[in-house]
Amino acid sequence: MSEPRFSVGQRVQIADRTPPVHHRVPSYAKGHVGVVERVCGMHANPELCIRGDGKPFQRIYRVRIPQTDLWAPYEGTDGDKLEIEIFEHWLELAQ
Amino acid sequence: MTGHDDHDHGRTFQPDHPEPTSDAALVGLALRELLIEGGHYTAEEELAVIAEMQGASPENGGKIVARAWTDPEYKKRLLINGKDSIKELGFDLEPYEFTVMENTDQVHNVIVCTLCSCYPRALLGMSPAWYKSRNYRSRVVREPRAVLSEFGVDLSDDVDVRVHDSTAELRYMVLPQRPAGTDNWSEDDLAALITRDSLIGTQRDLSTK
Amino acid sequence: MNASWGPHDIGGQMAGPIDLSEHDIAHWEWQIDAMVRLALEKGLISDFAELRDGIEQLSADDYDRLSYYERWAKSLAYTLLSKGAITEQELNGKIEAIRARQEAEGLR
């Protein structure tokens, strides 16, 4: 088990890329910044399960993003949030 | 188990579910017969898997919720580590992590899997057709309040919505709020109140009627 | 919003009202479900990621037109054909046999 790179509360950015392999980041979340809500366990990287490259197991984080950052216009409140699971190799510390 | 001869293992269709004739379904039926004939699995193994799948239902999730309502220490453990806590009640969701999101007066949670239709089947049974539909998967992330309102859940602005997109190896369940007036209820009676939709988050209030 | 990268990547798209009706799962659909589970258990596929990948290879038209378990069936066939676990000839032969049987029984 490698040590988690990110910790709860840190601001992280989801990579904006589209590798030509099976991957589990929906387009609507790519490039967005959120806060680490929870550090989860290590899991098989689905990109590797098919035919991509990368480490077989990667840490997963739950990232919380304000709905008003994701969608414009957004019919809701500033308190509404989207929470999504992202593998570590898709995240960088946000500027 | 009734006997099957070598040419009859495919014929287990129930009268109310006629054998499908679409091209894509035929691919599935053909593949199934090839795999059984090739010795990859047996019709008996298939029946056992189907029975196991059919044995799972939202009653499982209801038992977890009722325990959390009646045992505050259990609830704490469940919210921190769902995967291990459900084992105390005899459930298992390996290899997935299990994440329980608590509804409060200020927060309403709703679950989706936009990329396919991930769902904790061992705890909730088969997912409803709408959960797998294009319209639910595409819309609930973008306009959760409008979608919830189609389910009859109208949230005021002082309740925050949290949409959970199940994209990887976590599976989710909502912990609904315990209805008022149930203080002296037994765990079994409480469990019976809990509905599938309340565990997905497309229902907020549970009825005690 | 970024462009969708496959027929499945639909989060945030506009769509109509949600059909709330309940549907029973037909016996053949349980069988497809069991087949995929057993394919994993027996090592014919290594991970459900392979099933998802096969679904994502469908054309956008097929993805929308096919039912849930029809997609599973097409995906598992695609994966097992590309791995060489079955051949195109075997599969087509079996499909023709089932079609002929259904015709003989007046199902089609």
Q: Does B166 touch chain A (CB under 8 A)?
A: yes
- Residues B106, B32, single domain; the answer is no
Look at A67 and B169 and tell me if their CB atoms are within 8 Å: no
Q: Does C16 touch chain B (CB under 8 A)?
A: yes
Sign of the dihedral through C-alpha C20, C25, C28, C34: positive
Structural domain tally of chain B? 2
- Residues B125, B190, single domain; the answer is yes
Instruction: Give a yes or no: residue B32 inside a domain.
Output: yes
Instruction: Give a yes or no: residue C2 inside a domain.
Output: no
Instruction: Give a yes or no: residue A4 inside a domain.
Output: no
Look at B161 and A81 and tell me if their CB atoms are within 8 Å: yes
Instruction: Give a yes or no: residue A59 inside a domain.
Output: yes
pLDDT at B59: 97
Look at B160 and A80 and tell me if their CB atoms are within 8 Å: yes
- pLDDT per position in chain B (209 positions), as tens? 333 334 444 444 444 446 788 999 999 999 999 999 999 999 999 999 999 999 999 999 999 999 999 999 999 999 999 999 999 999 999 889 999 999 999 999 999 999 999 999 999 999 999 999 999 999 999 999 999 999 999 999 999 999 999 999 999 999 999 999 999 999 999 999 999 999 999 999 999 98
Q: Which of A9-13, A44-48, B86-90, B190-194 has the lowest mean pLDDT?
A: A44-48
Give the percent of chain C with pLDDT over 70: 97
- Residues B81, B49, single domain; the answer is no
- Residues B185, B83, single domain; the answer is yes
Instruction: Give a yes or no: residue B10 inside a domain.
Output: no
The set of residues, in sequence order, having a beta carbon less than 8 Å from that of A38 and lying 6+ positions away, is: A8, A61, A62, B99
Q: Does A73 touch chain B (CB under 8 A)?
A: no
Instruction: Give a yes or no: residue A15 inside a domain.
Output: yes
CATH number for the domain harbouring residue A82: 2.30.30.50
- Residues B72, B27, single domain; the answer is no
pLDDT at B101: 98
Instruction: Give a yes or no: residue C77 inside a domain.
Output: yes
Measured between beta carbons, the chain A residues lying within 8 angstroms of C82 are: none
Look at C108 and B21 and tell me if their CB atoms are within 8 Å: yes
The set of residues, in sequence order, having a beta carbon less than 8 Å from that of B104 and lying 6+ positions away, is: B177
Host H or E run for residue B101:
strand B97-102
Host domain of residue B27: 23-54
- Helix or strand or coil: residue A9? coil
Beta bridge mates, B107? B160
Q: Per-residue pLDDT tens for C52-65?
A: 999 999 999 999 99
Catalytic residue ranges of B: 113, 116-118
C-alpha R_g of chain C: 16
Of B160, B165, B169, the CB nearest to A84: B165
pLDDT at B34: 97
Which residue on chain C is closest to B37 by alpha carbon?
C94
Look at B161 and A62 and tell me if their CB atoms are within 8 Å: no
- Residues B76, B179, single domain; the answer is yes
What's the gap in Å between the CA of C16 and the closest CA on chain A?
A: 16
Q: Cα(A92)–Cα(A11) distance, rounded to whole angstroms? A: 9
